Amino acid sequence: MMYWYGNGMSGWGYALMTVSMVLFWALVILGVVALIRYLTRVPQPPDSASAQRPTPEQVLAERLAHGEIDEQEYRNRLAALRGYPPSTGGS
């Protein structure tokens, strides 16, 4: 039977068919692996800097900055957090 390309497939036709089938199956396997990895991934926690809780000293400094406590109370509480005896004297 005669086709457009002659009497039959030449060596180049078989080589092209072999390469295309290898590429096809490689893409199929790669797609399946990528899908499995996507579906079984463990969600990552948000950025550690934004998810980190403020330290007690930072909370105390924020309260001072907002005017919730005065400077003497800030120093007393900071000393208590750090394990020092609170100062009872004035400035």
Rg (CA), the chain: 36
36 — pLDDT class (breaks 50, 70, 90): very high
Domain total in the chain: 2
The pLDDT of residue 12:
80
pTM: 0.41
> pLDDT tens digits, residue range 41-91?
988 766 655 567 888 999 999 999 999 999 999 999 999 888 877 666 655
Among 85, 60, 83, which Cα is nearest to 70's? 60
* Single-letter code of the amino acid located at 85: P
In-domain check, residue 91: yes
Q: Residue 91 belongs to what domain range?
A: 54-91
The residues near 75 (Cβ < 8 Å, ≥ 6 apart) are 86, 87
Residues 35 and 61 in one domain: no
The residues near 5 (Cβ < 8 Å, ≥ 6 apart) are 13
Distance CA 83, CA 65 (A): 23
In-domain check, residue 29: yes
Residues 90 and 65 in one domain: yes
In-domain check, residue 67: yes
In-domain check, residue 1: no
Maximal CA-CA distance, the chain: 110
Q: Which residues pair with 3 in a beta bridge?
A: 6
The pLDDT of residue 91:
52
Residues 87 and 63 in one domain: yes
The pLDDT of residue 84:
79
